[in-house]
Structure 1
């Protein structure tokens, strides 16, 4: 008997939401990806087989009800950079009696608010901590993270932001927003790790961790470092 596919609702097409959708799509799970921004959803839909993009404002409880959010095996809220929207969606899920959900948070303040709403620690996703543990492990065992092959098509690379024209501008304004060819997974700045979105400001001496196609690396090096 074939194993039954699970169903997932991902609320928010930020970097984390897209990354989770990609992994679930590879595993042939059924995913509904919700975001209020149609253009953002359209950037990614062609690459998915089992992910359906749904344009919706999930801060409105009725919208969640109409889209059958209670019928999913799991709901993942990926709106860490927008605390107000994240809290509103969380309250909507609680009001609807849904308890099988996870919520992304990027800082302790947001986490404390979620805990105050009654969420368990296990329901809260902190990408910064996850990324930090990963990088610490790589450093501890002296694993090369400058360029690490993922497969024949993609690599994981870290690049220093040296090109002055990129300083003090957002990722979007620098034409470096996540797309089908590359994604800035995280930024290391002054010893801290930042999980970016398209509105994150880039600063001099930022270290960018990027997942990209092999064919685009030379262009990225030129764009970010100023040298090929």
Structure 2
């Protein structure tokens, strides 16, 4: 588990609250900012620890007084209202905040945010990411959880259930790291194991790996077995 950090999420919309819930589940400290008190309270009602502050993020003075500089990361969740998003990001940059991640509604919005001074990895378009996830998952023979993707590789988790690898080492199972895949960690009984080639695989282990997209179907067959593979 990474050290506990503090995050500000600006915008109590579906995207912002999904980010908030994920951070909260990972035991991080989160404060949500939004100008709509009713919407803010409604979204936070289902949260365990996240806090809310009613604030107009287009007002730079209000952001500063609310302590926006104290956070380890700031996520700007506005997307559909481009003007609010742009002004908010400008305010954050004027206040010297560099650890920003901003949602963009489309490529035009992204280009503007990049022109303001954000880096490529600070601007995300959720629809494009979701589309890539769906397209990538459709390539595989069974439904798997795709954590991240690029053009050639994905990060995913496969559950150990094939008798051919249960109680065998990674080396014996011919799963030693190579140019096509690397087992990053194994989750077992609530604990995380950083494996080497001698690590023994157990039934129901969650194998987290980074692999070429072209190798994933073979890894599913090797680790999970063919019970759920479509004919």
TM-score with structure 1 setting the length = 0.60
- Structure 1 partner of 2:227: none
Match runs of 1:52-131 below 5 Å: 52-131=51-130
Q: How many pairs align? A: 144
Match runs of 1:184-203 below 5 Å: none
CA distance in structure 1 between the partners assigned to 2:2 and 2:102 by the alignment: 27
Shift of 1:44: 2.1
Query: Residues 3, 110 of structure 1: CA spacing in aligned structure 2 closer, same or farther, 3 A cutoff?
Result: closer
Match of 1:31, SS?
Answer: strand
CA distance in structure 1 between the partners assigned to 2:91 and 2:99 by the alignment: 13
Match of 1:44, SS?
Answer: helix
Match of 1:76, SS?
Answer: strand
Tell me if structure 1 keeps the 8 A contact 2:37–2:54. Answer: yes
CA distance in structure 2 between the partners assigned to 1:17 and 1:66 by the alignment: 22
Structure with max Cα Rg:
2
CA distance in structure 2 between the partners assigned to 1:25 and 1:7 by the alignment: 10
1:133-177 Cα shifts (integer Å, max 9, x gaps)? 1101121114459xxxxxxxxxxxxxxxxxxxxxxxxxxxxxxxx
TM-score with structure 2 setting the length = 0.59
- Structure 1 partner of 2:47: 48
- Structure 1 partner of 2:224: none
Match of 1:106, SS?
Answer: coil
Tell me if structure 2 keeps the 8 A contact 1:103–1:123. Answer: yes
Match of 1:34, SS?
Answer: strand
Tell me if structure 2 keeps the 8 A contact 1:29–1:50. Answer: no
Pick 1 or 2: higher relative contact order, CA cutoff 8 A, min separation 6.
1
- Structure 1 partner of 2:4: 5
Tell me if structure 1 keeps the 8 A contact 2:6–2:71. Answer: yes
Gaps of 5+ in 1: 146-228
CA distance in structure 2 between the partners assigned to 1:144 and 1:4 by the alignment: 32
Match of 2:56, SS?
Answer: coil
Match runs of 1:173-184 below 5 Å: none
For the aligned residue pairs, the C-alpha RMSD in angstroms reads 1.7
Tell me if structure 1 keeps the 8 A contact 2:12–2:43. Answer: no
CA distance in structure 1 between the partners assigned to 2:4 and 2:44 by the alignment: 20
Shift of 1:56: 0.7
Match of 2:45, SS?
Answer: helix
Match of 1:97, SS?
Answer: coil
- Structure 1 position 135 matched with structure 2 position 167: no
Shift of 1:62: 0.6
1:26-74 Cα shifts (integer Å, max 9, x gaps)? 1111100011111111212222122001111011001110111111000
